[in-house]
A and B are shown apart, each in its own frame.
Chain A
Amino acid sequence: MAATVTVGTEVPEYVRTTDLANWNRYAAVNDEFVPIHMDDDAGRAAGFPSAFGMGNLLWAYLHNMLRDWIEADFAGNGRIVSVDLSFRSPNLRGQTVAARGTVTAVREEGGATIVDLDVAVVDRDAPATVLAPGKATIAVG
């Protein structure tokens, strides 16, 4: 299992173009009907150009990227051990965001392969705009 993952391996992107259709669905399951995520006037009053998406949903997208990778490359035999994410820039309406990850370390521990990654959610059309940088660890095998 570990032979298929090496330092530098890139995780397939998880990409979503985000707007109220995404945010309203998430608000509905997470009880997160907050004006800054629903109403452009409220977003502007908070200092941003429009309503903006939930940090919690970017958090979910990052987890989904890891989960999709575990499903595709490890037949689902794995789990997310930890995720550390900072929310630096707002996820604005119409923005296409991409969750990305690059393997930074691989080690064997307790019969499992532990994989550390640098992760981020970025603006796919302006990759220098990092909405949420961080780190993650998964266990596979």
Chain B
Amino acid sequence: MRAALGRELGRKVSFPVSESDIRRWVLATWYPAAPPRRFWDRPTAELCAPEDFNPFAWMTVPPDGAEPDLGRGGYRGPEQTLGLESPATTSMINGGRVASYGEPMRPGDVITSVNRLTDYFEREGRLGLMLFTVSTDTWTNQRDGTVKTEVTTYIRY
């Protein structure tokens, strides 16, 4: 598995971010309170998404000729993507995340994500031996501006 470190796990391109996408997102994350007006009550040119907004939910632009990836959601281990034998684990939790933010996402932006496998390691935990899998996701917009760099650790056991 270590031989796979550094390999690309996935590349996604969002459909253009819409005002409605942003409004729904902030309504869900601020629920049951009203979100700040800057995320829903501004002219389109002034509207921006909050830093935690996910433009890839539900469906992304399929590569030429491919079927769309519909509603799969959840976590897919890198081994499945890379054609490796999957570890003998039954559960997965999100262990943590480090994100650095650059240009904000605005209506009309098309975001590209490139995700790479960064690290594997094991630790003993409350639920036994656990496999930590670290990936790094880099998001850019249509102007090649960096939107976000995010390092995520998933824990499987």
A82–B121 alpha-carbon span in the complex (Å): 25
Determine the chain A residues whose CB is within 8 A of the CB of B29 once the complex forms.
26, 29, 57, 60-61, 63-64
**Chain B residues bordering chain A, tally (CB within 8 A):** 32
Tally of A-B Cβ pairs under 8 angstroms: 97
Residues in B1-45 with C-beta less than 8 Å from chain A: 24-25, 27-32, 36, 38
Interface string of B77-120 (1 = CB under 8 A from A): 00000000000000101111111110010000000000000000
Q: Does A73 contact B (CB under 8 A)?
A: no
A30 touches B54 (CB 8 A): yes
A31 touches B127 (CB 8 A): no
A31 touches B95 (CB 8 A): no
Q: Which residue of B lies closest to A37 (CB)?
A: B74
Q: Which of A22, A26, A68, A87 contacts B36 (CB 8 A)?
A: A68
A83–B100 alpha-carbon span in the complex (Å): 7
Q: Does B73 contact A (CB under 8 A)?
A: yes
Q: Which of B28, B36, B73 contacts A33 (CB 8 A)?
A: B73
